[in-house]
Amino acid sequence: MARGPLAVVAAALLAPVAVAAAPSAPGALRVGITAVLFEKHLELNRQFVAYVGEKLGMPATLVQRRTYKQMSDLLERAGLDVAFICGLPYVIDHERFGLELLAAPEVYDGPIYFSYVIVPADSPVQSFEELRGMRYAFSDPLSNSGWLVPAHDLARMGTTPEAFFKRTIFTYSHSASVEAVAVKFVDGASVDSYVYDYLARIRPALVARTRIVRRSAPHPITPVVVRAGLPPELKDRLRRTFLEMGEDPRGRALLTSLGFKRFVPIPDRSFDGIREMRRVVSERSGVAASAARRSRP
């Protein structure tokens, strides 16, 4: 799974540079959101974190990082309390240090989303297979929709991204991948359906320069997770805050702004499909491990 729905939030502008974390107040709830995608979302992220803090009756601080790896590291070191994080890093970190699920946003029917394969609008390419020997953009080496899903498809085809494509890049942002395709920096890219559909609403001109050639099967959407060892009482209050957001107008407005219907509970077994894909890809060539090495610290 690619960056979480909120992670999607805001930041093409700041993409190349890691967003500095706001200095966290002592005893404050630290909420992690990866890469800011759209300008509007930086403000939305703050409003969201502020809302959560108010509901809990405690100060809350927004912590932003560019990559999932950076986010994982923070969660492992208890530098974060709660975070939006993609399905793949959840699966990995759940195994490594007991990352726990809290809830998941609902964008489509249920807490699901898809991985899109997109090409430039005027490209002759009609299918994923036709992208052989071309330049391809992945979003993040720990992204489900932006890396694992296409890598899994290639593994099932008996190949690896390195062998299949002429050249691959990581944009560390789904919206950046859309843009890279739109300006023809690459010939194709795998992107998060939530980000793509959201961009189609707020930047229709950009999205119009691209075309979807393939939709994946549904996958569990980017969940909200809490670090291991968070006090159960706080964890419960947090879960309630998310699940009940649709019940007050301010929470409802925030949900609408983010393109979410509501937050719903999500069980760990929903991520078994991702575990299976990861296994297939690892077995095929160890590409995931190699990609992970290439990922930024």
Binding site for other proteins (CB under 8 A): 15-16, 135, 137, 166-167, 169-172, 176, 180, 183-186, 294, 296
Supply the minimum distance, in Å, between the C-beta of residue 117 and other proteins: 18
Q: Quick one: 180 or 226, whose CB is closer to other proteins?
A: 180
Dist CA 100 CA 139 (whole Å): 24
The rounded distance, in Å, linking the Cα atoms of 198 and 50 is 23
CA 209 to centroid of chain Cα atoms = 23
Q: Where does residue 60 rank: exposed (0-12), middle (13-18), buried (19+ CB within 10 A)? A: buried
CB of 15 to other proteins, least distance (A): 7
C-beta atoms surrounding 15 within 10 Å = 18
Sign, CA dihedral 53-242-107-34, equals: positive
- By three-state DSSP, how is residue 194 classified? helix
For residue 280, what are the contacts with CB-CB under 8 A and spacing of at least 6? 152, 155, 156
Q: Minimum distance between the CB of residue 252 and other proteins, rounded to whole angstroms?
A: 36
Report in angstroms how near the CB of residue 129 gets to other proteins at its nearest.
20
From the CB of 135, what's the least distance to other proteins, in Å?
6
Q: Which is nearer to other proteins, 151 or 180 (CB)?
A: 180
Query: Hey, what's the torsion of the CAs at 189, 194, 195, 199, to 10 degrees?
Result: 110
Residue 142 or residue 186: which is nearer to other proteins going by CB?
186
57 Rama class: left (phi>0) / alpha (psi -120 to 50) / beta: left
Least distance between other proteins and beta carbon 98 (Å): 31
Would you say the C-alpha torsion 153, 159, 164, 170 has a positive or negative sign?
positive
Coil vs helix vs strand at 144:
helix
Give the residue with the Cβ less far from other proteins, 189 or 225.
189
How many beta carbons lie within 10 A of that of residue 184, not counting itself? 13
Nearer residue to other proteins within complex by CB, 24 or 177 = 177
Q: Which is nearer to other proteins, 114 or 170 (CB)?
A: 170
Give the nearest distance from C-beta 170 to other proteins in angstroms: 7
On whether the CB atoms of residues 210 and 125 are closer than 8 A, the answer is no
Give the residue with the Cβ less far from other proteins, 62 or 151: 151
- Two tokens at 266? 């999500």
Cβ proximity of 176 and 12 under 8 Å: yes
Tokens describing residue 219: 């996958």
User: CB-wise, 166 or 252, nearer to other proteins?
Assistant: 166
